[in-house]
Amino acid sequence: MHKKNTCYQQGFTWVELAVVLVVITALLIFIYGPSSGAFDSQQTSETKKVAAAFETAINDVRLQWSAEGGRKQKVEFNGLFIEVTESGWAKQLNASVDGCIAIWKSVLPNSPDIQVYNREVHAPGWSVGGGPNICYFINQDGEAFVEDETPYFRYAYETGQISLYNM
């Protein structure tokens, strides 16, 4: 006669539990990913918010230009007249960083203070650099600018393109 084993395994083994945790972690990373902002530094989060507000304002300027017939060289926005390109994008008024500051202040009237980027001076907040047709808005937060680490965004006014870096 054979005896039946009355002892049954109950619960999970440590290996099974570890596999389940790995699968759940992988799913969370896939769903939320590094771009979700869940693990962003305060500096990166602020840069994303300001870049999104800047992009919304730039698009609003273009929508206003389009609503007014798409032929004007200036558009009234936030109580200011903003020069626009032939395609309706907010225009850098000259080929210098001052033109970038003018765009910043005109589309973001309640924007954070900004100063001209200087390698020797670590701006306490935002700084701006650039040249003809392009502006770089850098959230230095009192630190030295490190091209591969510091969060910043770029505005190319000929195309209206805004690109995020290190975020």
Whether residue 79 is contained in a domain is answered as yes
Domain count, the chain: 1
Structural domain boundaries enclosing 131: 40-165
Whether residue 4 is contained in a domain is answered as no
Whether residue 89 is contained in a domain is answered as yes
Which pLDDT does position 1 carry in this prediction?
55
Whether residue 1 is contained in a domain is answered as no
Which pLDDT does position 78 carry in this prediction?
85
Q: Which amino acid is at 111?
A: S
**CA dihedral of 96, 102, 104, 107, whole degrees rounded to 10:** -140
Which pLDDT does position 62 carry in this prediction?
96
Which pLDDT does position 35 carry in this prediction?
53
The whole-model pTM stands at 0.76
Which pLDDT does position 111 carry in this prediction?
85
Whether residue 33 is contained in a domain is answered as no
Whether residue 66 is contained in a domain is answered as yes
Which pLDDT does position 135 carry in this prediction?
95
Collect the ranges in the chain with pLDDT lower than 50. none
Whether residue 68 is contained in a domain is answered as yes
Whether residue 14 is contained in a domain is answered as no
